[in-house]
Structure 1
Amino acid sequence: MIGNDIVLPAVQLPGVRLSESMLYAVLRGAAEVETGGEILRLESCTGIWVPAGDVVAVRPALGAVVLPIPVAGGGRALATRVAVPKHAHTSLLHAFANVLGHVDGATGPAQLELSGGGPERLAPPPAPASEALGVLAKLLTERPEMRLADAVAEAVPGWSVRTVQRRFLAETGWSVAAWVRRQRVRAAAKLLAEGRDLQWVAHTVGYSGVPAFSRAFSESTGLSPGQWRHSSAAATAGVVPAEIGLGHLWEAAERRTWTRVNGAHVAVWAALGSANLVVGGRNVHLSEGDAVVVPAGTPNEFRIPSGSMLLPLGFRSAHTGEIGAPLRPASIGSLGTAGLLEAVLASYTKVGVIDVDPDHGFQAALSGSVRAPTTNDDVLLGRVANLYAREPYLRMTGAAARLGVDERELGAAVQRRAGVQFSAWLRLLRMTRARNQLGDGETPSEISRGLGYAHLPAFSRAFRAVHGAAPAGLSVPNLKPTRAAWGREMRVPATAL
């Protein structure tokens, strides 16, 4: 638990306004979560669900593991404490792996839902920074039935309503109307929990009638006034915290990663169960706990049996040096091995762990595996993959000139190491980037222009040839909101795509 023996980090990420609902589940250790102006302390096997639109800051304690995943709220509109029992951890980790975007057919967020539990207390809206607007806010809180114009005249005489609205929004991030509505609903929620008459409550907090009050209350809380009163009474009687509905999300047949060519070296880990890798024409089997490094520029695909879990451990730019084709994976440990899940979180999020080296997992996979000796072909393949990751629009002539090699030499090296002609290899690398960009919310037109295609139909044909469907019809989920909630604007740096 968080107490005198656990020190939270002094340097912390600023709060993020969520554009989708998120669950922050504490799998190990403890964490502090700030949302709605309140600081909540969470212990192992607990979590908090935060609705879209709220600002949240997550601060794990040293040694803690916090899993951030998008989760539908089952109609909720308020931050909710959640029980996260150990038997749910594996399914949550599967959901986390899904959101990383490497599994073919990933459906994105909203597959898990919360159920049960009483309503959480409504958090107050943020207070204005200036003294003048603070006086106005206090007046509106104490007299929620008061008209705004009258409150302005009393609290800040000489100010216009429009000036107040503009400055209030700048200081709080909320419109005056939204701020007052939250305060009215907070006051009403307390009165309803006390069993007060509905019509009396509506008039007391400033509404002319029950219908208008009920609409405002439901929009703010996700519950009708009657449902709130009933849930509050049940919670007082000892209702358990909300639970996570897991369903049968991961009982289906085997899955696979989509075929790709990465612009960086990528370490991949069979965290649970097994997996089979096809890389550069070779087949490599991974048993549970095995990890392997896929060299930059090498076509690859993993097949994942039912119930198994494959996680990327991290990545390195090809500028760090060449890596030979994998021959035998490293045995680094399964999900319970200390430091490995932490390395995944450190590589792909900024909110799940603190003071963890994101290169730890990659180094473990690299040092423990057996790889083919590197050649000049490996050097050249890594260099050209890295170049195209940064400048995907280049033609082969331009790439060869930038690398200082003959076109024929470049094409032959790619053929020998990747097993395909240069044109097919380049198309696969570009379409790997294109699919990643779809997962960052970019449109096919934007991606097409960035990759150097003169016309969208030509890009669509190339995309279909690699991924089996047009970019507009593949249903790649937009994962950018999740990555932003993780403290990342992009999936990974461009050179690691």
Structure 2
Amino acid sequence: MLPASTHAPVLLDEPALYAVLVGEATVRVGQATHTVAERNGLYVAAGETVHVDPRPGSVVIPVPAVGVRAASHSSVTIRDEEWPGLLHAFTASLGHLDGPGAPVEVHGGAAEGLAAPTPPRSPELRALADALIAHPSSDIATWLAETAPGWSRRTAQRRFVAETGLTISAWLRRARVHRAAQHLAEARDLEWIAHLVGYQSVAGFIRAFADEAGMTPGQWRSARMNSNAASARLVFRDASTEHGQRTWTRVNGAHVAVWAAMGEATLWVRGKALTLSEGEAAIIPAGMPNALEIPEGSLLIPVGFRSGVTGGLGVTTHAATLGPLGSLISGETGIETVASMLAAYTSIGAVDVHPDRGFAAVLAGSALQDDDSDDALLASFASFCSKAPDVETAIAARHLGCGERTLHRIVADKTGETLAAWRRLSRMTGARNRLGEGARPSEISRDLGYAHLPAFSRAFREVHGASPASLNVPNLLFSRGAWGRWAPTPRVSARNASDTISS
């Protein structure tokens, strides 16, 4: 029996859309409570504190990083043909796709409130933020010298982004607009509000307000007063069915199950291709170099994972059949698989579904090559390296109970790569994941044991075709807040790596 849902409220660092595919969910945003019915969604702006409580049997798709073109608390009626786009946007936020994701924007809706930006956590930056709010037209450098003496503006900017997700100027603009909205609701004069929140002209204030709220101050005040304002609508700026995509070549520390929900996809494992027809699914074994090609019009979704320490798995020789996403609208198969995926990757998507259900279904329906002790050792080694990427091979071998030469042989036999090439791909898989958690290249380089940043950048470029500074990996860490999960993957240094394999 699964435990009852006990999700704590989370402070959103980015806007999110909570879309209810099946059932109903109560979404509390600040002091307001919303009941979101089936085939509807609720848009919540960054800076809001949100608590999502799905009813038993409900399926909720939390889509983070939604474009800001509506006021917070806007309701959305979701059409049948829009669900694949929302699923694509969710899976893109998992960080496995190469290239741009599928940005979703919410346009229109009632202006029920504009959220304040997330406050900084450190005392110095909190004092800076308070000073800038109290004196919005003052120079940032002046107050930085007062609240954080000895800090450079560059240091303050970097730490401010890490703590709030916004630059200082973007944070201040959002804080000004939030304060302005409070006075707009009180029917204050527009010019008076503009000067109060630090703008020299009404025109500049209107532009800044429209950029943040998606409507002018006058439109916002009218919408605020109109309790019967129309529902917002979804706009997909880059629909998943209009272009092909691929995953970046990687070595996973876990076994991962993937599902061709729409169209077909090609899974490459150790240079060999397995074509997944629509509705089919397969398992990517931990430790095996892999990539996926997703043609135009197709949608591939990860549906679950298991740690490599749970044992070895052979390569899929015959895919499992889960049914296509098309049945999402007309039947239960697609809904059950989507619920399994959400249970594996979120805490609020399907609270009464076991997080291993999707992976177990794919494993039960697949035909795999016979696995042996070498497969299990490779999977454990991959899991070990993903947690302690800078660990020396000799130390890993000793902890795994084998010789270093044994690891060289197993990696070569099972993956077709030398151990050095495999370790580089494994490290760079972790490095790209860290970029998706907001880590800086210099920090990643140091954690991976590189003596100099240029050496790390060269290794990264060999695997990913671009330097870590130029790849422009989106920060996916804040997505976990929208999903009900905050903590990034734990990182372990070589000094205490011997304790990680059993975790």
With the length of structure 2 as denominator, give the TM-score of the two structures: 0.76
In 2: Cα distance, 1:184 partner to 1:477 partner: 30
In 2: Cα distance, 1:412 partner to 1:386 partner: 18
Paired position in structure 1 for 2:31: 37
User: Conserved in 1, the CA contact under 8 Å of 2:282 and 2:362?
Assistant: yes
In 2: Cα distance, 1:424 partner to 1:448 partner: 17
Q: 1:82 to 1:407 in 2, by over 3 A?
A: same
Paired position in structure 1 for 2:301: 311
| Matched residues, number | 425
Paired position in structure 1 for 2:433: 436
Matched, 1:52 2:46: yes
In 2: Cα distance, 1:188 partner to 1:179 partner: 14
In 2: Cα distance, 1:398 partner to 1:97 partner: 36
In 1: Cα distance, 2:460 partner to 2:427 partner: 9
Instruction: Map residues 26-175 of structure 1 onto 2, 5 A cutoff.
Output: 26-107=20-101, 111-120=103-112
AA aligned opposite 2:250: R
Paired position in structure 1 for 2:251: 261
AA aligned opposite 1:189: A
1:388 aligned to 376, 382, 385, which one? 385
In 2: Cα distance, 1:450 partner to 1:35 partner: 38
Paired position in structure 2 for 1:330: 320
In 1: Cα distance, 2:341 partner to 2:273 partner: 24
In 1: Cα distance, 2:11 partner to 2:178 partner: 17
Paired position in structure 1 for 2:286: 296
Instruction: Map residues 343-358 of structure 1 onto 2, 5 A cutoff.
Output: 343-358=340-355
In 2: Cα distance, 1:286 partner to 1:54 partner: 41
In 2: Cα distance, 1:179 partner to 1:387 partner: 44
Paired position in structure 2 for 1:462: 459
In 1: Cα distance, 2:481 partner to 2:240 partner: 26
Matched, 1:482 2:479: yes
Paired position in structure 2 for 1:141: none
Q: 1:269 to 1:305 in 2, by over 3 A?
A: same
User: Conserved in 1, the CA contact under 8 Å of 2:71 and 2:108?
Assistant: no
Q: Could you give the per-residue CA deviations for residues 413-454 of structure 1, whole angstroms, max 9, x where no partner exists?
A: 111100111110111111111111111111111111221222
User: Conserved in 2, the CA contact under 8 Å of 1:94 and 1:309?
Assistant: yes
In 2: Cα distance, 1:107 partner to 1:123 partner: 25
- 24-33 or 212-221: which moved more? 212-221
Structure 2 SS opposite 1:471: coil
Structure 1 SS opposite 2:98: coil
User: Conserved in 1, the CA contact under 8 Å of 2:319 and 2:366?
Assistant: yes
Structure 2 SS opposite 1:389: helix
Shift of 1:232: 5.1
In 2: Cα distance, 1:291 partner to 1:72 partner: 28
In 1: Cα distance, 2:247 partner to 2:369 partner: 24
User: Conserved in 1, the CA contact under 8 Å of 2:71 and 2:111?
Assistant: no
User: Conserved in 1, the CA contact under 8 Å of 2:60 and 2:349?
Assistant: yes
Q: 1:425 to 1:211 in 2, by over 3 A?
A: closer
1:401 aligned to 393, 398, 401, which one? 398
Structure 2 SS opposite 1:480: coil
User: Conserved in 2, the CA contact under 8 Å of 1:35 and 1:54?
Assistant: yes
User: Conserved in 2, the CA contact under 8 Å of 1:256 and 1:303?
Assistant: yes
Structure 2 unaligned runs (5+)?
118-173, 492-499
Structure 1 SS opposite 2:469: helix
Q: 1:53 to 1:324 in 2, by over 3 A?
A: same
Q: 1:410 to 1:226 in 2, by over 3 A?
A: closer
Structure 2 SS opposite 1:67: strand
Q: 1:27 to 1:492 in 2, by over 3 A?
A: farther
User: Conserved in 1, the CA contact under 8 Å of 2:281 and 2:321?
Assistant: yes
User: Conserved in 1, the CA contact under 8 Å of 2:305 and 2:359?
Assistant: yes
AA aligned opposite 1:47: G
In 1: Cα distance, 2:311 partner to 2:486 partner: 27
- 77-86 or 42-51: which moved more? 77-86
User: Conserved in 2, the CA contact under 8 Å of 1:348 and 1:492?
Assistant: no
In 1: Cα distance, 2:24 partner to 2:298 partner: 28
Paired position in structure 1 for 2:366: 369
Shift of 1:215: 5.0
Q: Could you give the per-residue CA deviations for residues 384-418 of structure 1, whole angstroms, max 9, x where no partner exists?
A: 11221222112222222222323222211111100
In 1: Cα distance, 2:468 partner to 2:462 partner: 11
User: Conserved in 1, the CA contact under 8 Å of 2:48 and 2:116?
Assistant: no
Structure 1 unaligned runs (5+)?
1-8, 126-177, 193-197
In 2: Cα distance, 1:48 partner to 1:323 partner: 41
User: Conserved in 2, the CA contact under 8 Å of 1:214 and 1:225?
Assistant: no
Matched, 1:471 2:461: no
In 1: Cα distance, 2:66 partner to 2:316 partner: 40
In 1: Cα distance, 2:179 partner to 2:398 partner: 65
**Who wins on radius of gyration, i.e. which is larger?**
1
Structure 2 SS opposite 1:472: coil
User: Conserved in 2, the CA contact under 8 Å of 1:99 and 1:106?
Assistant: no
User: Conserved in 2, the CA contact under 8 Å of 1:440 and 1:490?
Assistant: no
Q: 1:51 to 1:122 in 2, by over 3 A?
A: closer
Q: 1:428 to 1:31 in 2, by over 3 A?
A: same
1:282 aligned to 263, 269, 272, which one? 272
User: Conserved in 1, the CA contact under 8 Å of 2:70 and 2:232?
Assistant: no
In 2: Cα distance, 1:477 partner to 1:212 partner: 34
Shift of 1:106: 3.1
